[in-house]
Amino acid sequence: MTSRTMNLRWPGAGLGLLLGCLGFVASPRCEAQNLVPNPGYEETDSCTFGLGLGALHHWYSAYLTPDHLQSCQPYGTANGLPLNICTFQYPFEGNSCAGVFTYDGHTGQEQREWLMVPLLSTLVPGQTYYCSFRANAAFGGNGWNPVNWMASNNLGMLCTTYDRHWTWGDPYPAALNQAHILYPQILSDTVGWTLVSGSFVADSAYSYLMLGNFFSNALTDTLQLAPNIPEWGRFSYTLVDAVCVSPDPDGCERSQGMEGLGAAVPFVYPNPASDVLVIGNAAGREAVVLDMLGKWVWNGRVQHDRFGLDVGSWARGAYALQLHGPRCVQVVKFVLAE
């Protein structure tokens, strides 16, 4: 994040400085099979002072200005570790990490920061890939007026077949409302590093990986990290570390009982929808749809994968799809539009 970025992003001097802290380091157990270069954000040309990605190798912005945090900086500097301008946190591993702005509840704009990296080899369609990364909710920091007083959900990984390198002057991209690996819960742990893991079957020859919140504000849930937060503090910022993508089931870190979660995460498309909503990765599960007031709209069993639901006569607006599994209930938000 540069001073120009901060002036554009935040009202008031110095507030934009608070967007800069995220980290990642690869676990040794997945290093040999990891398709993500510089997975821990350790490789850089220099110990660069200031927010933004500086001289970081391989990684770049796919939207706005993610940040590279480094332990080599003096304590308490803008992009230092553990104390920096947006939080106090040690990297999960190594000496560096990265940070992304994941929600803007102040201006109402669909602003996000997305990190992007080319994979070391192209994914093979039809093959299963196992993925993981560590994430932490930023809060506090060394600024007088911290703006990241909120936590948000839908942090995820998204693979693409094309480069999305973003520079100032480019238009803001529309929300993609999809992810291959998704953490649908609100990421609210400001102390520990949360493991996000899962798997998916590649349906295209993906060559790039992105990290961030790819969902619109309407589909993003939030949590206040402190009471009585000021209006200018309605932002969330997330640290990431230890990014891994591997064709080996043991190549990336996986949480106990969560194996294959990425492949099993339900999704809907198109989103927004108008006439037919397709529910994927939920065959055989009992489903309930509620409107945003909590009123029952529909329930039934998802008969098969890519299950089509006729929503043409439903009122336009936002809905929550609840999918009941043997151990949990998963929720997918969607919007109906004209």
pLDDT per residue over 48-71, tens digit each?
888 899 999 999 999 999 999 999
* CATH of region 3-261: 2.60.120.260
Return residue ranges of the chain for CATH 2.60.120.260: 3-261
Question: pLDDT-based confidence at 305, cuts 50/70/90?
Answer: confident
What is the pLDDT at residue 328?
Answer: 65
**How far out from the chain centre does Cα 154 lie?**
6
| Cα–Cα dist 69/100, whole Å | 11
Tokens of 259: 């194996």
DSSP for 15-48, please give it. GGGGG--------GGGTTT--SSSTTS--BSS--
Strand partners, 115: 61, 211
Candidates 2.50.20.10, 2.60.40.3080, 3.40.50.360, 3.30.300.30; correct CATH number of 267-336? 2.60.40.3080
Domain span(s) for CATH 2.60.40.3080 in the chain: 267-336
Using CA atoms, how far residue 234 sits from 18, 105, 138, 162, in Å, is 12, 5, 13, 32
pLDDT, mean of residues 109-118: 92
Q: What does the pLDDT look like over 230-240, one tens digit per residue?
A: 766 678 999 99
Asked which of 12-16, 48-52, 242-246, 307-311 is least confident by mean pLDDT, the reply is 12-16
Average pLDDT, the chain: 82
At residue 233, the pLDDT reads: 66
Residues 6+ apart with CB under 8 A from 255: 195, 197
User: What's the pTM?
Assistant: 0.68
Work out the pLDDT band at 27, boundaries 50, 70, 90.
very low
CB count, 10 Å around CB of 94?
17
pLDDT digits (tens, 9 = 90+) for 187-228: 989 889 999 999 999 999 999 999 999 998 888 988 888 777
User: What integer pLDDT is reported at residue 327 of this predicted model?
Assistant: 60
Closest C-alpha among 44, 248, 218, 54 to residue 132? 248
Helices (H), 101-174: none
pLDDT digits over 138-183, tens only? 988 777 666 677 899 999 999 999 999 988 888 888 889 889 999 9
CB atoms < 10 A from the CB of 327, how many?
Answer: 5
The one-letter amino acid at 221:
D
